[in-house]
Structure 1
Amino acid sequence: MSRSEDIRAAALELFTRRGYETTTMSDIGDAVGMRGPSLYKHVASKQDLLAGIMLGTMRNLLALHRAAIATAEDPVARLRRATEAHVRFHARHRMEAFVGNREIRSLSEPHRTDVLALRAEYETGFRDLIAAGVTAGAFRVPSVRLASYAILDLGMGVAAWYREDGELDEDTLVWYYGDLALRLAGADPAP
């Protein structure tokens, strides 16, 4: 890992455990064995660290979403693959998900607007998948927007409780949540 990656990892862990507001640059420096002046050679500010974590998380989610749906045309398969990618990311990147959800309030402009725009784009991707499925007759929902929010909440909730050594392995969890997403979208149950 590079020094910048070490600093990012330490900041992420501290923001998760202590919160952004109570974490200081000195805390981050201590976590990586650096004093303030040396730390500032790698990062401009605590705010830049938070923004980098949150923007990186959203960009990763968008890239995974695009890759997941690129290999299918069928609306049911596309929604399943998008949901599986969403859930898998949240199972593997719990700290990023936690910080991304809790610390949006701590972002200053223009970072807050940038992160919110990426979040809106991500949600729109799910909404568009569901709307396409409704148009194709594969899904039946009273509200496309509500269905997309419910599916996104499923994945985000995984970050709060999932553990690798828990009751379900990651692949089983991902498959099960894919089924739940299809039910939320009103897909016909599999035979």
Structure 2
Amino acid sequence: MRAAEIRAAALDLFTRLGYEATTMADIGAAVGIRGPSLYKHVASKQELLASLMTATMDDLLAAHRVAVTGTDDPVERLRRATDAHVRFHARHRREAFVGNRELRGLVEPHRAAVLARRAEYEQCFRRLVEDGVAAGVFRVASAQLASYAILDLGMGVAVWFREDAGPTENEVAWQYTEFAMGIVKAG
């Protein structure tokens, strides 16, 4: 219970103040624990950042695997993967924000672990595009650049999407999936 509260407080503070400006005392105060006592629950601020970023990437990878399961059709697989990617970023805006902005705050070996997961995630999309090209249903000069463009679409949702204003999550997911199909020139 305490660990989840501490992680939630750290995520909130890293989002609002930034990793560097947040102190362990700030995190402790947010959960009602004095700074020094916080170390009974977490090893360091770096460990908190690393665990937040690692969990985010693990969740993205898991959502991707679930999304593409059950069909071999390259178009449907990319549609499902894009939908899951966009929805994740709409639902987990703070995690995405911290994951992108605070990468510079990670030190080794945490940085390498998060970068490896990010590369794995990009490769998942690149393989989907390559499979579609091989099947003759996508036409792109660079599967790598197409995958980057699709990933950027979803990550951008975390910046502007709001549940209480603008298009709904369903509208955004549908439209962005259509954008992805345009990027790969599906059909």
Match of 2:101 in 1: 102
Q: Displacement, 1:186?
A: 1.1
The residue identity in structure 2 corresponding to 1:56 is A
8 Å CA contact 2:15–2:94 kept in 1: the answer is: yes
Asked if 1:162 is matched to 2:164, the reply is: no
The residue identity in structure 1 corresponding to 2:62 is A
Match of 1:31 in 2: 30
Matched residues in 1 for 2:28 and 2:36: separation? 9
The residue identity in structure 1 corresponding to 2:63 is L
Match of 2:115 in 1: 116
Match of 2:45 in 1: 46
Q: Displacement, 1:38?
A: 2.4
Matched residues in 2 for 1:38 and 1:4: separation? 13
Match of 1:18 in 2: 17
- TM-score after normalising by structure 1: 0.96
Structure 2 gap segments, 5+ residues each: none
Q: Displacement, 1:68?
A: 0.3
Matched residues in 2 for 1:51 and 1:185: separation? 34
Matched residues in 1 for 2:97 and 2:163: separation? 17
Match of 1:4 in 2: 3
Q: Displacement, 1:94?
A: 0.3
SS of residue matched to 2:172:
helix
Asked if 1:60 is matched to 2:59, the reply is: yes
Matched residues in 2 for 1:150 and 1:115: separation? 20
The residue identity in structure 2 corresponding to 1:41 is K
Matched residues in 2 for 1:65 and 1:179: separation? 18
Q: What's the Cα RMSD here? A: 0.7
Q: Displacement, 1:96?
A: 0.3
Asked if 1:153 is matched to 2:175, the reply is: no
Post-superposition Cα deviations, 1:39-90, rounded to whole Å, max 9, x if no partner, equal 1111000000000000000000000001100122100000000000000000
Figure out how many residues of one structure are paired with residues of the other and give that number: 187
- TM-score after normalising by structure 2: 0.98
Q: Displacement, 1:36?
A: 2.0
Post-superposition Cα deviations, 1:124-168, rounded to whole Å, max 9, x if no partner, equal 000000000000011001111100000000000000000001221
Q: Displacement, 1:107?
A: 0.2
8 Å CA contact 2:27–2:35 kept in 1: the answer is: no
SS of residue matched to 2:107:
coil
Match of 1:74 in 2: 73
